[in-house]
Amino acid sequence: MPQTTRKEYLAANLETWRVLNGDALPFDEPAARRFLEASYNRTRDLAAADHHDVAARQMTDDRLAPLSSIKAPTLVIHGTEDPLRPLPHGQALAEQISHARLKVIPGMGHSLLSPGLPRRIGEIILEHTASP
């Protein structure tokens, strides 16, 4: 259903983020609402998100390059409760990239909208980028 008003946009997207959060960790609704309000306020075209989804599904030549060709130090962060891409997706991704490190976050879904999770993920990324 198209979202034509601010209220419809916020309600629909808040529910989407609630589902993507999963059930294992609490959903930070106030943080999600702030994120969505900021997104709505800065967008000029609400349909752009739909265009993003369509583009993400197109398999162009550059997206078909083998993951084994990645040489950069790689960190794959994945939650155990991701309803969109279950944990085996993250495991398979890490296995395809030579020397990739997989960090599994118990209870995490497909979002960072759980209290304390953004800081924890930031610390994991900082540790990864700071190590030789």
Residue-level length of the chain:
132
Spatial distance between the Cα atoms of 118 and 126, rounded to a whole number of angstroms: 12
pLDDT of residue 12: 92
Mean pLDDT by 10 residues, the chain (132 residues): 80 94 94 93 79 78 85 96 96 95 97 92 95 70
> pLDDT at position 1, please?
55
Q: Which domains does the chain have, with CATH numbers?
A: 6-130 (3.40.50.1820)
The model's pTM is 0.83
| Res 26: pLDDT | 96
pLDDT for 2? 63
pLDDT of residue 46: 75
Per-residue pLDDT at 122: 96
Closest to 32 measured CA to CA, from 44, 52, 46, 15: 15
Among 121, 73, 82, 72, which residue's Cα sits nearest to residue 101? 73
- What's the pLDDT at 25? 95
